[in-house]
Amino acid sequence: MQSLPVLQPPQLVHWRHILYLMARTPCDRTGRDLPPGTAPTPEQPAPGEEFYPFSDRADFMLADFFYTRNQMPAIGIDTLMDTWALKHPDTGPLFADHHNLYEAIDSIQLTDVPWKSFAVSYSGELPDEEDTEIPPWMTAEYEVWYRDPLAVLESQLSNPDFNRFGGDVMSGNWAWAQADLIAKGDEATHRAMFVLVILGSNKTTVSVATGQNEYYPLYISNGVVTNGARRVHKNAVLLLGFLAIPKTDRKYTNSDHFCQFRCQLFHGSIRAILEPLHSAMLEPRVTKCPDRHYRCAIYGIGPYIADYPEQCILASIVSDWCPRCTGKPDDLDGPSLPHTQGYTELLVKYLDLKTLWNNYGIAAEAEPFTTSFPHASIYKLVTSDLLHQVIKGTFKDHLVMWVGEWLEMEHGKSGAAAIMADIDRRIAAAPSFPGLGRFPEGQGFKQWTGNDSKALMKVYLPAIAEHVPAQMVRTLAAFLDFCYLVRRSLHSEMTLKQIQAALQNFHRERVVFEELSVRPGGLSVPRQHSLSHYFEVIQLFDSPNGLCSSITESKHIKALESQGLLSRSLAAVEGAEVVKETDPFEKEGEAVNGVRDVDNDVFLALTKAHGYPKRVEKLAVHINIPSLPLLVGRFLHAQLHPNSEQPWTSLPLHALPSADPRSFKVFHSAVVS
């Protein structure tokens, strides 16, 4: 395993970078510095404009009820307005009819970032022989929908819900290196803060009642918000566009020209979508921040969230090769060097396409989109993916499957079935406990999710003990050590050393699968090889749980709903591939302010309970938990003042905010898994 030096402990860089960001001087909208201590200018609408184009709150609330809550048909709106006119002949109805209502809604100025589109088609040479059929994909037009990335990012950065500077991705050495590059520029650049742009894409299929439709969402986030903000499915991750998915007849699917066009379409589309960002990567741009101050900002392409097949397309490499290093497919964990843009350009300059493909794993037909932007190399920006590399990859698709294959090789199909039944019995016998999932039928469920794999990890090791060789048990134990370490939200130099040690133990023990002929061809598989890069990736971008593909996958359902591509009724259909939102891998293991984070998922009851008091003080008496007001107040304080220097655990009740009874809901039960 390749050893890497410890550059900077991310926790130390974290505080340095917060100081760097906070030191960026607030300015006015023209970019002129403000005197120290100047409060941000409150931006409130003028009297009478709060609900424009509606005349008052009543008009606005009625429109909201008709259009979003009740979704009343047009004829229903007309009937209600006619009845209203009869009841109030002097003042008339709030809206003349449904046309008047829709016109008011369409004239709202505070809208989301508008959508645009462009069309792409093949521009290469066509077959010149008269008797040769022209493939349909060569004459088709492919539509790409997108939003202005700069406008989307500025909408995120101005959101006061994200009023916390630095931390997480901005704590890593890569962001610090980018900040150093900015500091070496002219005076205007030197005083600018760095806004790291995070991208992610993941093709998805909606296979229930929609005709097997495929969508290719492209998402955008930024490094100024925290990993936690990205994980809670809020607007810290926004839909940037829908990439085109070229299709063709079966006989052309694997043709070299079509594969080349497909890759070029992918990179060319992203390059065109991100073009509005280019100037903001070279010259500072006045940007509104979550604290309502304006600051000069320089933008830069940061890590890209993707699973392995997507990483191959991003890095323009051949499948089974590594996007981050030069390891060979038959020995990925052997000696290698970091993959760089300069290395690729040198090979492309002197070698033909066939040699590049076969000997170096480079698909040179398409140039990565990052080559068009300053200080961006896709080989460095392809990040680790906990979901597909660790949770569902190495654990579910490799180790669990290999254990089953060995049992069948050793005991035959009938003997293996009996042992698997006993393993399922042990898994099902796991007691109910907070943070521990239940599997009443063992591991025999039809469709695995990230949550299923996480939960099974906690009970799988003791379930297979005594049924498999001791070295297999040690292999699983070493892997679980590695898994739980890399899933932490905070990393120090000590945890990095522990990660390296756990990975070395895993590599040493996993050879049992090769020695027992479960993997006679060797253990060189891309997803397991990716584990060797976690040490470096954590140094560069801090905790991987803020850059996991589970974050983009969990956005699919909301993205499709928001664009009218998937109705809520369809989203509720059990079995739809994009429906189940897997909770990204939350904090685990380390104590913060004396509180230990526990890896779990909490599911509330489907309906709120009735008959419970709405005031926290009365509810505390009703459920016999006297400390409830204090606990709720401390929680609210932590959410409202994340940067407070005073620990929330030391504040008395009178200094804490109280819950508004109007927004207080009580659920009489919850399940923790």
> What is the per-residue pLDDT across 532-556, written as a single tens digit (0 to 9) for each?
999 999 999 988 988 888 888 877 6
Q: In Å, how far are 155, 294, 337, 437, 458 from 602, measured between CA atoms?
A: 30, 38, 43, 11, 17
CB 616 within 8 A of CB 659: yes
> How large a percentage of the chain has pLDDT more than 90?
37
pLDDT at site 673? 44
Q: Are strands 294-305 and 591-592 parallel, antiparallel or unpaired?
A: unpaired
Question: Can you tell me the mean pLDDT for 88-115?
Answer: 79
Closest CA relative to residue 207, chosen from 502, 367, 447, 513: 447
pLDDT at site 159? 80
Closest CA relative to residue 508, chosen from 500, 496, 498, 497: 500
Task: Say yes or no to pLDDT of 8 above 70.
Answer: no
Task: Say yes or no to pLDDT of 433 above 80.
Answer: no
Closest CA relative to residue 280, chosen from 296, 303, 258: 296
pLDDT at site 653? 77
Question: Can you tell me the mean pLDDT for 66-76?
Answer: 82
Question: Can you tell me the mean pLDDT for 287-308?
Answer: 89
> How large a percentage of the chain has pLDDT more than 70?
80
pLDDT at site 571? 45
Half-sphere exposure of 664 (CA within 13 A, CB side): 19
pLDDT at site 134? 86
pLDDT at site 507? 96
Q: Which has the minimum average pLDDT: 57-61, 214-218, 338-342, 466-470?
A: 57-61
Looking at per-residue pLDDT, the higher value among 607 and 116 belongs to 116
SS (H, E, C) 495-513: HHHHHHHHHHHHHHHCHHH
Looking at per-residue pLDDT, the higher value among 358 and 565 belongs to 358
Residues with Cβ within 8 Å of 517's Cβ and at least 6 positions away in sequence, in order, are 409
**pLDDT band at 43, cuts 50/70/90?**
low
Looking at per-residue pLDDT, the higher value among 466 and 63 belongs to 466
Q: Is the dihedral of CA 560, 566, 571, 577 positive or negative?
A: negative
Residue with the two structure tokens 């979508």: 273
Beta strands in 277-383 (DSSP E): 285-288, 294-305
Task: Say yes or no to pLDDT of 207 above 80.
Answer: no
Rounded Cα distance between 111 and 10, Å, is 39
Q: What is the DSSP string of 162-183?
A: G---S-GGGGSHHHHHHHHHHH
CB 383 within 8 A of CB 305: yes
Task: Say yes or no to pLDDT of 325 above 80.
Answer: yes
Encoding tokens for residue 535?
């040490």
Task: Say yes or no to pLDDT of 12 above 50.
Answer: no
How distant is the alpha carbon of residue 329 from its chain centre?
A: 28
Task: Say yes or no to pLDDT of 70 above 90.
Answer: no
Task: Say yes or no to pLDDT of 202 above 60.
Answer: yes
Looking at per-residue pLDDT, the higher value among 623 and 411 belongs to 411
pLDDT at site 465? 92
- 143: enclosing H helix or E strand: strand 141-147
pLDDT at site 44? 58
Looking at per-residue pLDDT, the higher value among 125 and 15 belongs to 125
pLDDT at site 570? 42
Task: Say yes or no to pLDDT of 245 above 80.
Answer: yes
Task: Say yes or no to pLDDT of 279 above 50.
Answer: yes
pLDDT at site 482? 96
pLDDT at site 455? 84
Task: Say yes or no to pLDDT of 565 above 60.
Answer: no
Task: Say yes or no to pLDDT of 531 above 90.
Answer: yes
**pLDDT band at 437, cuts 50/70/90?**
confident
Question: Can you tell me the mean pLDDT for 547-574?
Answer: 62
**pLDDT band at 456, cuts 50/70/90?**
confident
**pLDDT band at 269, cuts 50/70/90?**
very high
Q: What is the pLDDT of residues 633-644, one digit of tens each?
A: 888 877 777 666
Looking at per-residue pLDDT, the higher value among 433 and 425 belongs to 425
pLDDT at site 446? 57
Task: Say yes or no to pLDDT of 272 above 80.
Answer: yes
Task: Say yes or no to pLDDT of 603 above 70.
Answer: no
pLDDT at site 126? 84
Looking at per-residue pLDDT, the higher value among 190 and 322 belongs to 322
Q: What is the mean pLDDT of the chain?
A: 80
pLDDT at site 405? 94
| Residues found in the chain | 673
Task: Say yes or no to pLDDT of 142 above 70.
Answer: yes
**pLDDT band at 445, cuts 50/70/90?**
low
Backbone torsion region of residue 35, taken as left when φ is above 0, otherwise alpha when ψ lies between -120 and 50, otherwise beta: beta
